[in-house]
Structure 1
Amino acid sequence: MFPAPLRLFFVVVPLLVAAGALAMAAFPRRMTAWQLRSPDGSTQRLEPSGTRLLLMRIMGVVVAGLALLMLFTSQAIFP
């Protein structure tokens, strides 16, 4: 039997990873947009292509699924 802080670690970390991955899947454009400022003071906004946004959504869902799977399996292995 593991002490409570270690068991808490195995619960909190997968939840944080899943939350971050779902946020990346839900808002990929907002989380990857860059705003550049040139020396003359003008600004330019760089955004990823549509294919990259789609792959970021897919990978966000996959990573969130793996994190939640890790959460539930750690609960089954470490009761």
Structure 2
Amino acid sequence: MLPAPFRLFFVAVPLLVAAGALAMAAFPRRMTAWQLRSPDGSTQRIEPSETRILLMRIMGVVVAGLALLMVVANFAFIP
């Protein structure tokens, strides 16, 4: 049986990963948009393509699912 801090680590880290992945899936434009400032002072927004946005949403859901599966597996294997 592992001490409580180790059990907390093995639950907290996958939950943080799942939260970050779901945030990436929910708000991909906000998390990947860049604002570029040129030497003359003008600004330009750089945004990813629609295909990249779709893949980011899919991968965010997949990573969140795997992280939540790790939490469930930790409770199954570490009593």
* TM-score normalized by the length of structure 2: 0.99
Return the offset for 1:26: 0.1
Structure 2 portions without partners, runs of 5+: none
Gapped runs of 5+ residues in structure 1? none
| 1-structure distance, mates of 2:75, 2:12 | 12
Q: Which amino acid aligns with 1:29?
A: R
What's the offset of the Cα at 1:12? Answer: 0.2
Report the equivalent of 2:64: 64
The one-letter code sitting in structure 2 at the alignment partner of 1:4 is: A
**Inter-partner Cα distance in structure 2 for 1:72 and 1:10:** 10
- Aligned pair count reads 79
Deviations 1:46-69 (A, max 9, x none): 000000000000000000000000
The percent of aligned pairs where both chains have the same amino acid is 84
Q: Where in structure 1 do 4 or more consecutive aligned residues deviate above 4 Å? A: none
CA displacement 1:6-54 (0-9 Å, x = unmatched): 0000110000000000000000000000000000000000000000000
Instruction: Give yes or no for the alignment of 1:10 onto 2:10.
Output: yes
Counterpart Cα distance in 2 of 1:50 and 1:39: 29
Q: Distance in 2 between matches of 1:6 and 1:28?
A: 32
When the two chains are superposed, the root-mean-square deviation of aligned CA atoms in Å is: 0.3
Note the 1:1-79 alignment, pairs <5 A: 1-79=1-79
